[in-house]
A and B are shown apart, each in its own frame.
Chain A
């Protein structure tokens, strides 16, 4: 979960990292909280806000009024703007980059520093790798102050700035570890004309799997304004999430909507990706993506089946999973059949293909044959099952090699 800039800056301030003077507003106000010029920053959980019009300067009170009004009524990178961080304008002499992330190859936290701040670090690392300095550190001991100084001194920074910057980098590393962050980035950290070093922007992303030990942050994550990836869930997807919440048994409902005629009941994680690719490769048009797994209850499978069939334009459904060992084939079959019957359709005409081999398959296949549904055992591959499903819908397969 990505914190908003002002939330991240509150954490920095608590730790003693200087930030510009600022205040958050959520409604149009007549005058800024301090003398103009000031900076207006849209508080949305996304990067590159400046390019998207999410960071603007107000030179006088009139500008302040209409620019805040404009910002609060619009969106930035797909997010509605509900809050604006109004900050004093800082006279910047020089900008630096610092960040902490996990290196998934070294399996260790890594501190990154560059004397070229303010721009995208990954781009910089590609174009000018010599200006990006990295150092791994122990997750148990944290980034020691001398280690922070070594990185910054290797980057060619000395004097008072070295001391100030390395202090901030070491503090950022403790913020990263203490808050279970997966990204902690200050870009830019600036040397001002007044001689101080401060964080002008900040990005903190907190590990969703660790939110249970940060209850204050967990509360923020329930804020409805934060949608994943700037892509709002459709009502079709939300209903599927509700179905998944009907009970705690297994997963049946992580659904993403597409605009096609073939409903998909697919799982688990890797096999869903495989099956979806295969349907597309054979020229099929999926109505949805989803992931089934962990032996979901008959109720959940039934409701999900009904839900997918209720989508306008869905002609048939394909049920495809990898060879299952935990999920029971018979329970899947019962859920799917029940769901179809409750919509008043005939299972034999509605199921384009049922390919779920594995645990309790004999019992499952018995149920399916009772309703005249064609099923596949483990000798039929996921690809072949997808091909048959597309063929039943009369789809062409132009991409067939």
Chain B
């Protein structure tokens, strides 16, 4: 079933009456995701594309038993919304909101760990298991998702939301389908990074190869190399490292908050070298992802 969710996963949207949420709720429903409830305090009793809106998560859970929640509320309210979901037993929380204070993210993740729940994001577009389920904004309207994604054996995890779809599209164009595609989020601290996801992909019988879209900054890629060796990860991994020019401009932040090279830490070149030493395939160009996958599948 790929990982984390399938067509039967009951999904709730917190902040469902917001402009963006109204739009991606429609896209999710049309793709076949089971959106069972929405929550916006003060707007209980309304509905969005036929999805009933409640004032509290407690009410939504009691009535519909959602297992997953998409959080699309202003940054200052994300912590409150995520804790409300976690304390009401939600096991998969996808935080699409951006600019969430780091302390709030860490606090959400501390509670999630104690509850055994999985968090994706913040600052993520969400995830897609092709032709099965889509949680969040990834891929956009249903016709676009269907054009770019198709089911198959390759998992994608990407530090860039847009590049999640770009890579899926590239694979689809070459007849290679995807199992689970996750935009992990562009912040330095995210709920599910490569270190969390690669072991899940390793255990997933449907996933036979993994593509990672990496950027400079942080130490997650470097740590992944150690994890691959120490855990004996056998699923082939293909990594693409964007932003090689960033190495020449230390201290300048590009795009995502996490994309910054500080001193010798987090450089693109360093990541590439470590990947190679750990037996992870490195695609020099995007197109190389396809040829490498064809060799390992």
Tell me, yes or no, whether B252 is within 8 Å of chain A by CB: yes
**How many contacts A-B (CB < 8 Å)?**
172
Known: A273-B246, A326-B137. A109 touches B162 (CB 8 A): no
What bracket does the count of chain A residues touching chain B fall in?
35 or more
Contact string, A375-388, partner B, CB cutoff 8 A, digits 1/0? 00011011110000
Interface window among B28-36, B218-226, B229-237: B218-226
Q: In the complex, what residues of B have CB within 8 A of residue A231's CB?
A: 251-252
Tell me, yes or no, whether A228 is within 8 Å of chain B by CB: yes
Docked CA distance A230–B252 (Å): 9
What bracket does the count of chain B residues touching chain A fall in?
35 or more
B229-255 contacts to A (CB < 8 Å): 240, 242-246, 250-255
Tell me, yes or no, whether B203 is within 8 Å of chain A by CB: no
B102-A122 in contact (CB<8A): no
Docked CA distance A210–B188 (Å): 14
A325-B137 in contact (CB<8A): yes
- The chain B residue with its CB closest to the CB of A269 is B255
B102-A289 in contact (CB<8A): no
- The chain A residue with its CB closest to the CB of B250 is A229
Known: A270-B160, A384-B287. A322 touches B165 (CB 8 A): yes
B105, B189, B245, B250: the one contacting A276 at CB < 8 Å is: B245
A178-232 contacts to B (CB < 8 Å): 180, 182, 207, 209-210, 212-213, 228-231
Docked CA distance A104–B105 (Å): 11
Tell me, yes or no, whether B286 is within 8 Å of chain A by CB: yes
Docked CA distance A357–B173 (Å): 13
- The chain B residue with its CB closest to the CB of A178 is B103
B100, B219, B254, B285: the one contacting A269 at CB < 8 Å is: B254
A215-272 contacts to B (CB < 8 Å): 228-231, 254, 256, 267-272
Tell me, yes or no, whether B259 is within 8 Å of chain A by CB: yes
A108, A228, A267: the one contacting B106 at CB < 8 Å is: A108
Q: In the complex, what residues of A have CB within 8 A of residue B256's CB?
A: 269-270
Tell me, yes or no, whether B71 is within 8 Å of chain A by CB: no
Q: In the complex, what residues of B have CB within 8 A of residue A358's CB?
A: 140, 144, 165
Q: In the complex, what residues of A have CB within 8 A of residue B141's CB?
A: 325, 359
Contact string, B129-154, partner A, CB cutoff 8 A, digits 1/0? 00000000111110011011000000
Docked CA distance A276–B243 (Å): 8
Known: A108-B106, A207-B102. A269 touches B166 (CB 8 A): no
Docked CA distance A41–B191 (Å): 40
Q: In the complex, what residues of B have CB within 8 A of residue A359's CB?
A: 140-141, 144
Q: In the complex, what residues of B have CB within 8 A of residue A105's CB?
A: 193, 195, 219-220, 223
Docked CA distance A379–B219 (Å): 33
A293-B162 in contact (CB<8A): yes
Interface of A is mostly: mixed
Residue from B162, B242, B250, B263 whose CB has the most chain A CB atoms within 10 Å: B162
Docked CA distance A105–B265 (Å): 14
B102-A321 in contact (CB<8A): no
A269-B186 in contact (CB<8A): yes
- The chain B residue with its CB closest to the CB of A276 is B245
Known: A277-B242, A321-B162, A322-B162. A383 touches B287 (CB 8 A): yes
B162-A278 in contact (CB<8A): no
B101, B160, B245: the one contacting A271 at CB < 8 Å is: B160
B99, B144, B243: the one contacting A273 at CB < 8 Å is: B243
A270-B103 in contact (CB<8A): no
A107, A230, A277: the one contacting B251 at CB < 8 Å is: A230
A268-B162 in contact (CB<8A): yes
B165-A291 in contact (CB<8A): no
Q: In the complex, what residues of B have CB within 8 A of residue A383's CB?
A: 285-287
- The chain A residue with its CB closest to the CB of B218 is A104
- How near does chain B come to A14, taking the closest CB pair, in angstroms? 19
A207-B287 in contact (CB<8A): no
Docked CA distance A218–B174 (Å): 50
A277-B166 in contact (CB<8A): no
Residue from A107, A140, A276 whose CB has the most chain B CB atoms within 10 Å: A107
B104, B159, B170, B218: the one contacting A270 at CB < 8 Å is: B159
Docked CA distance A379–B148 (Å): 11
Docked CA distance A378–B138 (Å): 17
B189-A401 in contact (CB<8A): no
A350-401 contacts to B (CB < 8 Å): 357-359, 378-379, 381-384, 401
Tell me, yes or no, whether A139 is within 8 Å of chain B by CB: yes
B215-A210 in contact (CB<8A): no
- The chain A residue with its CB closest to the CB of B255 is A269
Tell me, yes or no, whether B15 is within 8 Å of chain A by CB: no
Residue from A213, A230, A276 whose CB has the most chain B CB atoms within 10 Å: A276
Binding site for A on B (CB under 8 A): 75-76, 99-107, 109-110, 137-141, 144-145, 147-148, 158-163, 165-166, 169-170, 173, 186, 188-189, 191, 193, 195, 213, 215, 218-220, 223, 240, 242-246, 250-257, 259, 263, 265, 284-287
Q: List 19 A-B contacts (CB under 8 A).
A: A104-B189, A107-B109, A109-B106, A122-B263, A140-B107, A180-B102, A229-B253, A268-B255, A269-B215, A270-B161, A270-B213, A271-B160, A271-B162, A276-B245, A322-B162, A323-B169, A325-B138, A358-B144, A384-B287
10 more CB-based (< 8 A) A-B contacts, given A139-B106, A276-B243, A322-B163: A107-B191, A212-B76, A229-B252, A270-B256, A272-B255, A274-B240, A276-B245, A277-B242, A325-B139, A325-B141
